[in-house]
Amino acid sequence: MKYQDLISKLTLEEKVALTSGKDFWQTVGIDRDDVKIPSAFLSDGPHGIRKQAAAADHLGLNASIPATCFPTAATMANSWNDELGEEMGKMLGEEAVDERVNVLLGPGINIKRNPRCGRNFEYFSEDPLLAGKMAAAYIRGIQSNGVSACVKHFALNNQEERRMVVDTITDERTMREIYLTGFEIAVKEGKPLSVMSSYNMVNGTHTNENMHLMRDILRGEWGYDKLVVTDWAGCNDRVQGLIAGNELEMPSCLYSNDDLYKALTKGYEVPPELTPDRPGAQYERVTAALKDGKLDESYLDECLDRLFDLIFTTDKVFEGRPADEKLAVRNVDAHHEMAKKCAEECIVLLRNENNILPLAGGTKVAVIGDFAKVPRYQGAGSSVVNPTKLDSPLACLGFKIDKFEKNPLPCAKDKVGEPGENVYNLDVVGYEPGFDRYGKKKPALIKKAVDLAKKADVALVYAGLDEVTEAEGLDRKDINIPQPQIDLIDALCAAGIKTVVVLSCGSSVELPFADKVDAIVHAYLGGQAIANAVLDVIVGNVNPSGKLAESYPYAYGDCSSASHFPGKQLSVEYREGLYVGYRYYDTANVAVRYPFGYGMSYTTFEYSGLTVDDKGATFTITNTGSRDGKEVAQLYVGLKGGKIFRPAKELKGFKKVLVKAGESVKVTIPFDERTFRYFNVATDKWETEGGEYDIMIGANVEDIRLSAKLKVAGTTEVDPYAGAALDSYRSGNAANVELEEFKALLSCGADKYKYPVPDPGYKFYKKNRMVIHYNCTVADLRYSKRWFGRLFSGAIRFARALLWKMGNRTLSNTLEMGVVHQPIRGMAKFGGMNRARMDGLIMMCNGHFFKGLGQLRRGKTKEEAREEKLMRKGRKEDLKAQDKINKDAE
């Protein structure tokens, strides 16, 4: 081990203590003559630093220091430009260094299994290759500054509802090919200094305790030897987590761990009031396991070695630097321009009838939509950034914004409002909101908007999803654009008004008006500079080059996972298997509104001259239009007629190139070890099926421009699915797989991969009554034995509904994020109560009201209270005896 000498100087108590945070964001530091361990600071920040200046929380509620808000991961993936992602990562790393942040908690690379996942805006794609490549670039950029990126959430965390307790049930091949490949690419190519485990369980075991995920795959197969940290309050059993190699539990809770260490490291007896009996540190449990032999000290030493490697490696960048020294803050404008540059390459042109775009100079434009006033530029939750600047579309067009009737994000308060100079040569006839931001029907707003638009040549409509619809901690109820916005757009089209829609949302939505409007410009959630970036595309200063990193179905019911999202009470079954996103639509021939990889340009490209060998594919792209433009060439691979079922096409490479008007560029996309592989659950390794593969070059997954055949030798003849009744998987029609067929899939292959499918429902001991335990959520308390739990759960749910009805949707969502789906252990870990109080609450819910109430009030069991009383009595007697000795000595 690298830090064996340092570890040998630590007491057992210190070792245990160091594996939990000092507070919400910091690790513990030890400062004594023979041991100097600095404290490391961890901060949210997939697309901007969220270092909180005041009270700490994990939901983005409290203020944070100003930082550049770059485009979200879902937006950046549309650039298909990993080099640009690395540039952005460098600036994120610079700002982390300025704020003395050792670990930046991002990027998030979970797969977009279902468009309703509320946190999809934080994730790159439905495809693991694209997600992994973009994540690796982010990591390289961030870590080039000497600080750590932290890849999250490992793994299969693909929904927000019940995310802290849900059990993800999947087969081994699907897990590896779809949900782990992105992490594998990020780990091997990005080399992150830290990885964050997810909240959920996978096939019956919490991820941070999952030996198969942590030891066999992450540590063993991928060779990862750096730090793994829990998601905040994501530790279920600390002892098992340490054994699995989960080094750091965050955060520290109720009591100050720092006080505990001061007591320990100065050789004092630890006062009872400082003993961390909360589950957040699980100090006593770990110490007891070490003393009982259930936990070998070597596991603890191994964890500390990796923890120290992270701390000392990242702390080097701060050596000799004054605490108040800033670098990037002096370059706010440069970082803002970088945010704009990123946003420009991410904007996706979805529709452009009769080449209405770009708008010519002098075009009369009516600006419509609440999002034109206060832009929708980021998601909600732990990733919320307090931007250094914020461009408003109206301000960019010369309007002065006097006030905000409703301020969607507190951080926008002082950033929008000053008018800019209208440099876009558009004749703006006026502005109307057109709709209520949060979906209330107000027909009068539509009438005013239509009347204004009649005075213009074009209606520029800013539409999309609001901040309370897409947020961490909850999933969307549907994938619809709010009806008032649809009514507005329908009214404009019915009036014969040329309409250009600017969309702002972080995941796919149904677009019933798509064939009616003249143009659709999709900005996604483009960060603080998105307003100017969009206008530059609209007037032609920038040629759009973004392409969708996810599919846009006609209707939600077309999704392969629609019938099994977000699952039932206890588990979610990934019955669709490999057929996620385009892998399903393309294989099952399900038509979509916009396919994966789709995006228009103001110019045209021609593909030619494909040659293929065992190293890769080479071809030529020619710009046949009159404008310079960037094109994303996509390499897909398929095998028809093979024994092993698989999607018809799978993305295996991509390249974004700039091609000047009238010129050609030769492009090579290499193959790698993943191009032809599949995971064989019978041989327990990656294999290649022999056969003649289709090598396809496309502008998107449906628009294949060039194709060729390549014969590839196989590595095994073993068919893990021989004789199994898997018709849905063999055909690709996997949207409505029956339970028995799913069980058959999970029973294939080696015994260790034959996972059972548990009953997804609650375990009631009688009708609608269950025993409450640590992993029950507040929502589950409605089924408790006695009235207290049912009343408590009902009150929380009523409060949430009432707040929603009253229009306070942000606070309503906060209740759902932070309370409704929070397990009782999570409430304790976030500082709400210690373990004794948590046990008291559980007793009250399980029919022992007065006994539990007493313990809840005391904060300790009767035995602990009695022992503490005796200790205090003994101390008083010791003090009296010492006083007597002192007097006698005098």
> d(Cα 377, Cα 374) in Å, to the nearest integer?
9
Do 124 and 77 form a contact (C-beta atoms < 8 A)? yes
Instruction: Kindly list the distances between the CA atom of residue 512 and the CA atoms of 435, 479, 552, in Å, as whole numbers in the listed order.
Output: 17, 11, 12
> d(Cα 561, Cα 554) in Å, to the nearest integer?
15
> d(Cα 467, Cα 5) in Å, to the nearest integer?
51
DSSP 586: H
What is the full DSSP assignment across 336-384?
HHHHHHHHHHH-EEEEEGGG--SPPTT-EEEEESGGGTS---S-BSTT-
Is residue 146 classed as helix, strand or coil in its secondary structure? coil
For residue 143, which of 184, 108, 76, 194 has the smallest C-alpha distance?
194
Residue recorded with tokens 């199994």? 724
Beta bridge partners of 64: 52
Beta bridge partners of 710: 693
Do 704 and 636 form a contact (C-beta atoms < 8 A)? yes
For residue 381, which of 744, 754, 120 has the smallest C-alpha distance?
120
Query: Is 751 noted as a catalytic residue in this protein?
Result: no
- Pairing between strand 650-659 and 30-32? unpaired
> d(Cα 847, Cα 60) in Å, to the nearest integer?
36
Region of 724 please: left (phi>0), alpha (psi -120 to 50) or beta.
beta
Length of the chain: 890
Torsion sign over Cα 68, 197, 826, 17? negative
Q: Which of 127, 231, 305, 466 is catalytic?
A: 231
Tell me: cis bond preceding 358? Omega within 30 of 0 counts.
yes
Residue 273 sits at φ, ψ, to 5 deg, of -70, -15
As given in the structure block, the two tokens for residue 454 are 């009649």
Query: What are the catalytic residues?
Result: 231
